[in-house]
Amino acid sequence: MKFSCFSYVLLLLVLSSSSWSALADNHQEFIQCLTHSNQTYSSSIYTPNNSSFSSIRQFSIQNLRFNTIKTPKPLVIVTPVSESEVQRVILCARKNGMHVRVRSAGHDYEGLSYVSEVPFVIVDLINLRTINVDVNDKSAWVEAGSTIGELYYRIAEKSKTLGFPAGVCPTVGVGGHFSGGGYGTMMRKYGLAADNIVDARLVDANGRILDRASMGEDLFWAIRGGGGNTFGLVLSWKIKLVDIPKEVTVFSLHKTLEQNATKLVHKWQNVASRFHKDLFIRIIINRLKSSDQGGNNKLTISASFNSLFIGGIDRLLPIMQENFPELGLRKEDCIEMSWIRSIMYFAGFPIHGSLDVLLSRVQPKTRYFKAKPDYVYQPIPEGGLEGIWRFFFEDEAKSSYVILTPYGGRMDEISPSAIPFPHRAGNLYKIQHLVYWDEEGEEVAERHISWIRRLYSYMAPFVSKFPRAAYINYRDIDIGMNNKKGYTSYMQAKVWGIKYFKNNFDGLVHVKTKVDPTNFFWNEQSIPSLTRDKKNKGEQ
Ligand code: FDA
């Protein structure tokens, strides 16, 4: 029998959220649908009866908070190996009313690519990792299961003068990262990863494979920053590569409170977004044990000024002397290296070691964590900074960080509506509040999460307001979420949507309503379809 699922689309339209539980048993039909063909369905299908199920599920879990006994598990995991297999997964999922979570490399801060309270299937893109770099065209096609480490590696294999402005941690997947924006050390010169996407291939909710020309500019706009698992399943991205010199410069200077850290952080706020575009200096703040003159241990704050300069030391030093002499940067603090070695440096790998580590999908250490984003328009006064330091001296802050990332440069030049990511001119910098822990258990988790929530409350007077802006790639479900059982209302979604997307939120709702009216692609923070909203209102 020829495979066709379209006749079942109408059936799905009449399903309400209350039908989800009845669909939990449909996974057998879903699997039969996948395998029912003259051709063998060559990708692997895993159910809890399969001995590899747990290891496949856990392999890409990057936050241990979502790897506990209580964590809801999928009914099925599929790992398609081709575009047509992905297409079939979507068609069979629709036919059988299965809820789908798409996973690229699993870095979602709230685990939304592999956890759902609705019975679900994980479509794990781990086998879709082909990267074709075209040096002459200065572009690349990257399959959505690739990591940014793999992408950087493949670019460097072909060219010493091309690079790409995406994130710092090599294990991050391009599927989620590009869908939410994606920033890294070259953002002040070249913007976000999503600013440099020129085409994409996607499977929509009707199972059609579309590219930029066939999906149209509205949908193409929405997928570059509007968040993953919302408008379709992205199969691959075409990106524009950027020019880099043969050598760039890096440095890291660590300053404690005793070395004037508060004044330096305060000054940095006034200058970092106005530096030359080639200069990126972020600050990583954490607590540190230090010894006083009597040899007694005490706690202090460390502010690490961690920098990439897209050029040589000789050009960097005068820029620093003119704009930030207080930091006291010397020639011997700086190292010149190729761009790909700077990727190793920022990832914490030995800079002369084998580049093959960039191909690994496994982080050196996976931990429990909770993070929260903020944006800053006005410098925080020194007294305000000292209030943050006090949080670091609490017990739960043993392994906590506040990371300040400068904006300005190219970020100021791009219109806030060019793509759904709206945080452009006016932002001095972004903050990531981050707390890690290693002990199991709900009580420990509760303590650390409550610590970061208190810190977030403390920050309110100092950061953006109306809305208190947030970055979707630093997903935080504390700021609001859709109903966990599949129903998304416009008003509910607007609470968090305005924070991530500001005035672009309504544009995203418009696209969603057009391309996925039945809300097939859904998660706790996906854009709502107005069709679905009206329908549910009618049902209540
Ligand atoms: P994951 O697979 O969990 O997907 C995230 C979301 O996108 C989910 O909703 C998922 O369903 C959806 N999705 C994934 N693939 C899709 C596809 N092909 N089509 C449609 N939807 C898809 N960010 C940053 O900007 N700069 C940085 O330097 C870092 N560094 C960093 C380090 C570490 C250790 C972590 C854990 C995270 C970051 N991030 C980051 C945040 C990161 O950008 C964010 O978590 C991304 O969404 C991760 O993408 P993955 O594909 O790995 O996640």
Q: Residue 477: CB within 6 Å of ligand 1? A: no
Return the percentage of the chain with pLDDT > 70, whole number.
92
Q: Residue 147: CB within 6 Å of ligand 1? A: no
* Nearest-angstrom CA–CA distance, 305 and 303: 6
pLDDT per residue over 128-140, tens digit each? 999 999 999 999 9
Q: Quick one: how far is CA 270 from the chain centroid?
A: 27
Active site residues: 474
* Nearest-angstrom CA–CA distance, 317 and 24: 62
The single residue listed with the structure tokens 């379209």 is: 6
Q: Domains for the chain: give ranges and CATH numbers.
A: 4-124+483-539 (3.30.43.10), 131-243 (3.30.465.10), 248-336+367-473 (3.40.462.20)
Centroid of ligand 1 to alpha carbon of 454 (angstroms):
26
Q: Residue 486: CB within 6 Å of ligand 1? A: no
Cross-strand partners of 102: 123
Centroid of ligand 1 to alpha carbon of 447 (angstroms):
26
Q: Residue 169: CB within 6 Å of ligand 1? A: yes
Residue 115 backbone phi and psi in degrees, to 5:
-135, 135
Centroid of ligand 1 to alpha carbon of 280 (angstroms):
22
Nearest CA to ligand 1 atom 4: 176
For the CA of 144, the nearest atom of ligand 1: 18
For the CA of 181, the nearest atom of ligand 1: 25
Q: Residue 175: CB within 6 Å of ligand 1? A: yes
Q: Residue 467: CB within 6 Å of ligand 1? A: no
Do 412 and 405 touch, CB atoms closer than 8 A?
A: no
Centroid of ligand 1 to alpha carbon of 403 (angstroms):
18
Centroid of ligand 1 to alpha carbon of 19 (angstroms):
30
In a structure prediction context, what are the per-residue pLDDT tens digits for the chain, which is 540 residues long? 232 222 222 222 233 344 444 555 678 899 999 988 645 666 689 999 999 999 999 999 999 999 999 999 999 999 999 999 999 999 999 999 999 999 999 999 999 999 999 999 999 999 999 999 999 999 999 999 999 999 999 999 999 999 999 999 999 999 999 999 999 999 999 999 999 999 999 999 999 999 999 999 999 999 999 999 999 999 999 999 999 999 999 999 999 999 999 999 999 999 999 999 999 999 999 999 887 777 788 999 999 999 999 999 999 999 999 999 999 999 999 999 999 999 999 999 999 999 999 999 999 999 999 999 999 999 999 999 999 999 999 999 999 999 999 999 999 999 999 999 999 999 999 999 999 999 999 999 999 999 999 999 999 999 999 999 999 999 999 999 998 776 778 999 999 999 999 999 999 999 999 999 999 999 999 999 998 666 655 443
Q: Residue 473: CB within 6 Å of ligand 1? A: yes
Residue 376 backbone phi and psi in degrees, to 5:
-120, 125
Nearest CA to ligand 1 atom 37: 107
User: Could you tell me how many residues make up the chain?
Assistant: 540
In this structure, how many other beta carbons lie within 10 angstroms of the beta carbon of residue 198?
Answer: 12
| Residue of 473, 475, 525 to mutate, ligand 1, most atoms within 8 A of C-beta | 473
Nearest CA to ligand 1 atom 34: 169
Write out the DSSP string of 103-166.
ESS---TT-TTT--SS-EEEEE-TT---EEEETTTTEEEEETT-BHHHHHHHHHHH-SSEE---
* Amino acid symbol at 45: I
Q: Residue 533: CB within 6 Å of ligand 1? A: no
* Nearest-angstrom CA–CA distance, 537 and 540: 5
For the CA of 526, the nearest atom of ligand 1: 9
